[in-house]
Amino acid sequence: MSDPIRLDKCVVALTGCSRGEAQQYIEGGWVSVDGVVTEEPQALATPEQVTLDAEATLDAIEPVTLLLHKPAGVSTEDTIAAAGPATHSALDMTHTRMLKRHFQRLQPLLALDTEASGLLVLSQDGRVIRRLTEDARLIEQEFVVEVRGELPPYGLARLMRGMHYQGRPLPPCKVSWQNEDRLRFAIKPIAPGQLQAMCREVGLEVISLRRLRIGSIPLGKLAPGEWRYLPADKRF
């Protein structure tokens, strides 16, 4: 067996492609060393150990967006750190080929309070990042809030309009009872701590809070701590 050399050189020797194309194949997850996908062009191997997937293409690697069910009591930073192959939901129907680079340079958008749970968006895609930052005030978010206490007769109407938070008037929102101890809010925009403060104003204590939807994208049936890819044809 020959001495180990850089993986991109092995691919060049194996296929006759250019060095740049070899790196694209490797970074695209198309190259295996002894049957294990290896995405680092500088990894060492021998040509005999290397296999190029029969379906390999030189298509550009598109940035991804992950939709994650953040558990209650877990910080956004810890949630990002836990995103990886082990927490990929079996419900993901996008059939996206998972790459190591999908977990690099992810930007959390529309952050949730640590005590809250629900839909959290992590993205590398500049279009998604702009949409959920520059247009955030225009995007409706839906929450279910478990509460304790007695809502006065005027309470629901007050939650929907006429409230203030941090010295500014809040725009109208939609609020309804999901059941006897859970309120459902459809609201835009939303600031950290706002729903808790609104509930306190009408004599309710928030027990738990979960985000169900951002724009047209739902949390769905993702289990806490699991994630799926945002399909390429879906928009917030």
Task: Look up the pTM and report it.
Answer: 0.90
Domain holding 31, by residue range, is 5-52
Kindly give the interhelix angle for 19-27 and 7-15, rounded to the nearest 10 degrees.
Answer: 110
Cβ-contact 97, 235 below 8 angstroms? no
| Residue of 55, 68, 66 whose CA lies nearest to 28 | 55
- Shared domain for 112 and 223, answered yes or no, is yes
The pLDDT value recorded for residue 57 is: 94
The full length of the chain comes to 236
Residue 200 in domain: yes
106-146 residue pLDDT tens: 999 999 999 999 999 999 999 999 999 999 999 999 999 99
- Shared domain for 89 and 201, answered yes or no, is no
User: Which residues have a Cβ under 8 Å from the Cβ of 20 and sit 6 or more positions away?
Assistant: none
- Shared domain for 130 and 70, answered yes or no, is yes
pLDDT tier at 2 (50, 70, 90 boundaries)? confident
CA dist., res. 212 & res. 72, Å (int): 13
